[in-house]
Protein backbone atom coordinates (compact mmCIF):
# COMPACT_ATOMS: atom_id res chain seq x y z
CA UNK A 1 0.00 0.00 0.00
CA UNK A 2 1.25 3.47 -0.86
CA UNK A 3 0.97 4.96 2.61
CA UNK A 4 2.41 8.33 1.58
CA UNK A 5 -0.25 8.90 -1.08
CA UNK A 6 -2.96 7.72 1.31
CA UNK A 7 -1.76 10.15 3.99
CA UNK A 8 -1.70 13.01 1.45
CA UNK A 9 -5.35 12.42 0.67
CA UNK A 10 -6.30 12.29 4.35
CA UNK A 11 -4.53 15.64 4.75
CA UNK A 12 -6.48 17.11 1.83
CA UNK A 13 -9.75 15.91 3.32
CA UNK A 14 -8.82 17.60 6.59
CA UNK A 15 -7.71 20.83 4.88
CA UNK A 16 -10.86 21.05 2.79
CA UNK A 17 -13.49 19.95 5.30
CA UNK A 18 -11.93 20.33 8.74
CA UNK A 19 -11.24 17.10 10.57
CA UNK A 20 -14.20 17.44 12.90
CA UNK A 21 -16.86 17.92 10.24
CA UNK A 22 -19.45 15.42 9.11
CA UNK A 23 -18.18 15.68 5.53
CA UNK A 24 -14.61 14.86 6.62
CA UNK A 25 -15.88 11.79 8.42
CA UNK A 26 -17.85 10.66 5.35
CA UNK A 27 -14.80 11.23 3.10
CA UNK A 28 -12.61 9.08 5.29
CA UNK A 29 -15.20 6.31 5.52
CA UNK A 30 -15.76 6.17 1.76
CA UNK A 31 -12.04 6.35 1.08
CA UNK A 32 -11.31 3.56 3.59
CA UNK A 33 -14.11 1.50 2.06
CA UNK A 34 -12.59 1.89 -1.42
CA UNK A 35 -9.20 0.83 -0.13
CA UNK A 36 -10.55 -2.15 1.80
CA UNK A 37 -12.19 -3.91 -1.15
CA UNK A 38 -10.78 -5.62 -4.23
CA UNK A 39 -11.16 -3.28 -7.18
CA UNK A 40 -13.40 -5.75 -9.04
CA UNK A 41 -16.00 -5.37 -6.26
CA UNK A 42 -16.14 -1.61 -6.82
CA UNK A 43 -17.08 -1.41 -10.51
CA UNK A 44 -20.60 -0.10 -10.01
CA UNK A 45 -21.07 2.02 -6.90
CA UNK A 46 -24.27 3.98 -6.42
CA UNK A 47 -25.09 6.71 -3.95
CA UNK A 48 -27.14 4.13 -2.07
CA UNK A 49 -24.36 1.55 -1.96
CA UNK A 50 -21.92 4.18 -0.69
CA UNK A 51 -24.40 5.18 1.98
CA UNK A 52 -24.61 1.54 3.09
CA UNK A 53 -20.81 1.23 2.92
CA UNK A 54 -20.25 4.01 5.44
CA UNK A 55 -22.63 2.20 7.75
CA UNK A 56 -24.32 5.23 9.20
CA UNK A 57 -27.44 7.18 8.56
CA UNK A 58 -26.10 10.45 7.19
CA UNK A 59 -27.98 13.17 5.38
CA UNK A 60 -28.22 12.68 1.63
CA UNK A 61 -27.02 16.27 1.16
CA UNK A 62 -23.78 15.62 3.07
CA UNK A 63 -23.22 12.37 1.22
CA UNK A 64 -23.81 13.94 -2.20
CA UNK A 65 -21.46 16.85 -1.38
CA UNK A 66 -18.74 14.38 -0.44
CA UNK A 67 -19.26 12.21 -3.52
CA UNK A 68 -19.07 15.30 -5.72
CA UNK A 69 -15.87 16.31 -3.94
CA UNK A 70 -14.36 12.83 -4.33
CA UNK A 71 -15.11 12.99 -8.07
CA UNK A 72 -13.39 16.38 -8.38
CA UNK A 73 -9.90 17.25 -9.50
CA UNK A 74 -8.68 17.99 -5.99
CA UNK A 75 -8.92 14.36 -4.90
CA UNK A 76 -9.73 12.33 -8.02
CA UNK A 77 -10.85 9.28 -6.03
CA UNK A 78 -14.12 8.50 -7.85
CA UNK A 79 -15.22 8.70 -11.49
CA UNK A 80 -18.79 9.52 -12.43
CA UNK A 81 -20.57 7.41 -15.07
CA UNK A 82 -24.07 7.19 -16.52
CA UNK A 83 -26.10 4.35 -17.95
CA UNK A 84 -29.41 4.09 -19.73
CA UNK A 85 -31.79 1.42 -18.44
CA UNK A 86 -34.28 -0.09 -20.87
CA UNK A 87 -36.36 -2.86 -19.34
CA UNK A 88 -33.60 -5.30 -18.31
CA UNK A 89 -30.76 -3.91 -20.43
CA UNK A 90 -28.16 -1.42 -19.35
CA UNK A 91 -26.28 0.75 -21.84
CA UNK A 92 -23.33 2.93 -20.87
CA UNK A 93 -23.63 6.58 -21.84
CA UNK A 94 -20.87 9.06 -22.55
CA UNK A 95 -20.80 12.28 -20.58
CA UNK A 96 -21.31 14.07 -23.91
CA UNK A 97 -24.58 12.15 -24.40
CA UNK A 98 -25.78 13.37 -21.01
CA UNK A 99 -24.72 16.97 -21.66
CA UNK A 100 -26.52 16.96 -25.01
CA UNK A 101 -29.65 15.46 -23.45
CA UNK A 102 -29.66 18.02 -20.65
CA UNK A 103 -29.21 20.91 -23.09
CA UNK A 104 -31.78 19.74 -25.65
CA UNK A 105 -34.15 17.62 -23.59
CA UNK A 106 -33.54 14.76 -26.01
CA UNK A 107 -31.74 11.49 -25.54
CA UNK A 108 -31.40 8.90 -28.27
CA UNK A 109 -31.74 5.27 -27.27
CA UNK A 110 -28.20 3.83 -27.38
CA UNK A 111 -29.29 0.76 -29.35
CA UNK A 112 -32.19 1.94 -31.53
CA UNK A 113 -31.38 5.63 -31.91
CA UNK A 114 -35.02 6.53 -31.19
CA UNK A 115 -35.93 9.53 -29.04
CA UNK A 116 -36.54 8.52 -25.41
CA UNK A 117 -39.44 10.17 -23.59
CA UNK A 118 -38.73 11.14 -19.97
CA UNK A 119 -35.13 10.01 -20.31
CA UNK A 120 -34.30 11.31 -16.82
CA UNK A 121 -36.25 8.40 -15.34
CA UNK A 122 -34.17 5.91 -17.32
CA UNK A 123 -30.69 7.30 -16.75
CA UNK A 124 -28.78 6.19 -13.69
CA UNK A 125 -25.52 7.46 -12.35
CA UNK A 126 -22.87 5.34 -10.75
CA UNK A 127 -19.26 5.64 -9.67
CA UNK A 128 -16.05 3.70 -10.04
CA UNK A 129 -12.73 4.15 -8.26
CA UNK A 130 -10.11 6.01 -10.27
CA UNK A 131 -6.67 4.53 -11.00
CA UNK A 132 -5.49 6.52 -7.98
CA UNK A 133 -7.19 3.96 -5.72
CA UNK A 134 -5.35 1.15 -7.53
CA UNK A 135 -2.06 3.05 -7.11
CA UNK A 136 -2.65 3.38 -3.38
CA UNK A 137 -3.63 -0.30 -3.03
CA UNK A 138 -0.46 -1.52 -4.76
Ordered per-residue pLDDT tens for the chain, 138 residues: 899 999 999 999 999 999 888 999 999 999 999 999 999 999 999 999 999 998 877 788 999 999 999 999 999 999 999 999 998 899 999 989 999 999 999 999 999 999 998 999 999 999 999 999 999 988
What are the domain boundaries of the chain?
3-77+130-137, 81-124
Residues 94, 1: Cα–Cα separation, whole Å: 32
Q: Exposed/middle/buried for 90, CB within 10 Å: 0-12, 13-18, 19+?
A: middle
Torsion of CA 15, 17, 22, 28, to 10 degrees: -50
Amino acid sequence: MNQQLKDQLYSRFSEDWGDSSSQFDICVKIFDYLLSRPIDQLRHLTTGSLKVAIGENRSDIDLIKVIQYLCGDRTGVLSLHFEFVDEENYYPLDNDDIKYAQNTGKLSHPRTGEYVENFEEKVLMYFTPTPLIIDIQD
